[in-house]
Chain A
Amino acid sequence: MRYAETGYNLEIDLTRGSIERVATDPRDTELYLGGLGTNAKILWDRVPPEVEPFSPENLLIFSAGLLCGTPATGCNRTIVSTISPQTLLMAFSMMGGFWAPELKYAGYDKVIFRGKSPELVYLWINNDTVELRNASHLRGKGAGETAELIRQELKEPKAQVAAIGLAGENRVYFASIEQGRSSASRGGIGAVMGDKGLKAIAVRGTKDINIARPAEFMELCNEVLEYIKFRNANPIEGVMPILAGLGSPQEMAVHDEKWHTENFMWGNSRLRRKDFWNQEVAEKWTETLEKMRTRLISCYNCPMKCGATISVPGLPTYMMKCFSKLTYTMAAMADLEFGLHIAQRATEYGVDGFSTPQVMAFALELYENGILTDTDLPGLPAGNEERFHWLLDRIVRREGVGDLLANGTYWAAKQIGKGAEAYAHNNIKKHEQLPLKLSMLNPIYFLMYATGEKINITQIEGQFPQAPFATREEREKFVKDWFQVPDEKFKQYLLDWEPRGEKSIPFYPTVPMCCDIVDWQERMHYIDDALGMCAGLSSFPLKPPYHIHNYPKFISAGAGIEMDEEKLTLAARRYRTLVRAINIRRGMRRKDEKPPENHWKKRFPELEKELLDTYYAFKGWNNDGVPTQDSLRGLGLDYVAEDFLKRGILTDAVEAASAEAPKGPAAN
């Protein structure tokens, strides 16, 4: 018997309309766990670098994590993987909500799509009955609207539906896949879904998920619940409120937005408004949120309530979480009421809440600077807020200039020319970043931004405090019950870290310490993404209930795979390296691994070089960021080494010097 996982994937060929149920190899689970790990293995095996994002050969994989569907609190992530039309690299966006557990109860770990459907369809998975159904009547419908219509026509209110909106249908490079209160939105995976002619996947399952060692597993779950209660009652002192607790940042619950509004950038990630937050704003925004927010809501099997239902007068109710609360508001230099209003429309259209506002602010900046003119924007309204709505409508329809903007700031700038590239200033690997511009280089963040292949900082950072505590006493207090650290040395790093002086950024933590810290943070995110755990209970917050010490036990007792910290670390490194290998094969190299030029005012080129050199070596990558033969073979990834040798990415010489990376077919 298979435990925690079902042992079956669905293989759907959309071109032929065929559906197969395929047993998976339990050895792959041992090596790559599940979720992101096994997704990476499939993409490596079946999607060679010649395959373009919008080719029928590109795969779109919806995977539940290894422990989704078990009673492990907060383990509900769907990991969607494909090749991104925006970055041309592997995209692996996650969504919470209710979809992944339902897929497990239906009897499957993954749904793997290939080909392209000649007409718009949706997939209906009802336990053993799986069918592709015509979706032409759903064309152009909003993502949430689509979910409701599908539940009604199937007469199955309990079906969980993941759907795209108009943006996905029109292959907008930052189109999302929406699923009730959650969405998988980074990297334009909604565009790949639209390209495949797939409007939605509805799933309903009523089968069991088995646990290998039940009593032990429940005991672990109970410990986690107890610790969540403890952490809820004991927020971390000395950090800003949204970092003090567990869960995704509690944006739906908090009213005090002083920190975000005064530290994050407004407009096209340009303007810092240091005295923005005052009594009047606070009162107005509080009133707005109180009026429009109906209830705080959770994902499957989680008490944290990070999302909310929002009812804007005159518009259908929708669900929201996290920072999309402010991204539109701040990009448009508007107020919260505007933000919640436009987010309703954006959610139905199905677009990413980080990229979209930035693309629109970028367009208006180009207009103000004469790069886009009235000829490019015929009918652009005079009012600022109206302009955002107007642009959104054009982007999701790819109308006029919207057709360029729909490719994101990087590609749009290239296509517009006339110096537009200087305005696409906030990207890493062609992808829009959080609107942050800071003063002093932070070496830990430098490494995370540069080398993170999730390409979104909130999915890379976590665990280690973002800034040093002011006093030694505070630090001592913090480390006292910091049992989550993989090694005692991390406590010392933190104890010695000072806000000013010799032991402060950028030179402290030292380069080797930064490598340790970044590696730990990354490892936890990668483990979460294979198990299907919400980062909000694990890799993102300080002192989370899941950590490197109890995860091996969860896997052993849950999935029946003998696991310890070492073996788990090795597995995570294995599929993390595989993700890198996929991207390396698509042309990614050191030249691509850099934060936006203006992310920090004070930069230290020599230190940055040393950081990258050291971290690459630490990870077993050569100086160009390519995993070396030795490290590949050490991870059992001999097949990657062979492939790299064959392609000339590595040479048989001890260190491959691949200064000129081979270009991916579309990587121009």
Chain B
Amino acid sequence: MGEKKRKKIKTIKVDVDKCNGCRACEVACSAFHAAPKYSSNNPARSRIRVIREPLKDIYVPVYAGEHARAECMGRDKYTIDGKEYDECSFCRASCPSRDLFKEPDSGLPLKCDMCESDPELKQPLCVQWCITDALVYEEREEEVEEAAAGEELDTGLEALADKYGLDKIMEAVARMAVAKKG
């Protein structure tokens, strides 16, 4: 158990009524995460995806959350204001049941990191590029339990293990360790 600690909570408020479906947020996100930064862009790599069905007036920007190793036991399907949304529409997981939030070539999971960078951006880039204010950024402080360390590493490794098998990963780690020593 960690100690109590003040933590900055970062929230992106999504107003789907203001979304015009332009996908500028996807463009900005994928450019920001290219290496080197902005050297390419490809919405399929974006950590925000706009679910967009104009004829049904469905516009939902969704942020990539945690990687899910297995899909849920069941699915959900919402109808809001008479509009029927596809199964799992609002879920943020990079999940085996769908191709959302995965790198198109490697299939590795994508997760929104709030544009963490040094120097810090004044606002996440998707928010900056959404000038119609469907996305608005907010920060506040909250008292929380300190999160267990290494969580991120675990997630990444788990995903790799799912894809390549744990043995392969261990072999690779061993190889890298040897290479580093030598």
Contacts and interface: CB of A to CB of B under 8 A. Distances in A.
**Interface size grouping (class) on chain A:** 35 or more
Contacts of A205: 44
B150 interface: no
Interface of B: 20-24, 27-28, 31, 34, 36-45, 53-57, 59, 104, 128-132
Top 6 A-B pairs, shortest CB-CB distance: A214-B38, A206-B44, A206-B104, A298-B22, A208-B40, A298-B20
Contacts of B21: 297-298
B55 A296 contact: no
B20 A208 contact: no
Contacts of A302: 22, 24
Given A211-B41, A297-B21, A218 B57 contact: no
A658 B62 CA distance: 63
Contacts, number: 94
A71 B54 contact: no
A299 interface: yes
Contacts of A305: 20, 132
Given A144-B55, A214-B37, A297-B20, 20 more contacts: A71-B31, A105-B43, A105-B44, A148-B55, A206-B42, A206-B44, A207-B104, A211-B41, A214-B31, A214-B34, A214-B38, A294-B57, A295-B20, A297-B54, A301-B24, A301-B27, A302-B24, A305-B20, A305-B132, A309-B55
Contact of B23 (A207, A209, A300): A300
Contacts of A206: 42, 44, 104
A215 interface: yes
Contact of B55 (A73, A217, A317): A317
Nearest to A207: B42
B131 A105 contact: no
A210 B55 contact: no
Contacts of B56: 317
A319 interface: yes
Contacts of A301: 22-24, 27
A151 B44 CA distance: 17
A214 B41 CA distance: 10
Nearest to B43: A105
Nearest to A214: B38
B57 A309 contact: yes
A215 B39 CA distance: 8
Contacts of A148: 55
A79 to B, nearest CB: 20
Given A214-B36, A228-B131, A71 B28 contact: yes
Interface in A311-342: 316-319
Given A105-B44, A208-B34, A297-B20, A309 B39 contact: no
Nearest to A102: B43
B54 A181 contact: yes
Contacts of B104: 206-207
Interface in A137-186: 144, 148, 157, 180-181
Contact of B22 (A180, A225, A299): A299
A309 B59 CA distance: 12
Contacts of B42: 105, 206-209
B24 A73 contact: yes
A217 B24 CA distance: 16
A206 B104 CA distance: 6
Nearest to A181: B54
A623 to B, nearest CB: 48
Contacts of A217: 38
A144 B37 CA distance: 38
A69 B41 contact: yes
B136 to A, nearest CB: 14
A214 B40 CA distance: 8
A301 B20 CA distance: 10
A303 interface: yes
Interface in A341-357: none
Nearest to B28: A71
B131 A211 contact: no
29 contacts: A69-B41, A71-B28, A105-B42, A144-B55, A181-B54, A207-B44, A208-B34, A208-B40, A208-B45, A209-B41, A210-B40, A211-B38, A214-B36, A214-B39, A215-B37, A218-B31, A218-B38, A225-B129, A225-B131, A294-B57, A295-B20, A297-B20, A297-B54, A299-B22, A301-B27, A305-B20, A309-B54, A309-B55, A316-B55
Contacts of A16: none
B125 to A, nearest CB: 9
A302 B26 CA distance: 12
B55 A229 contact: no
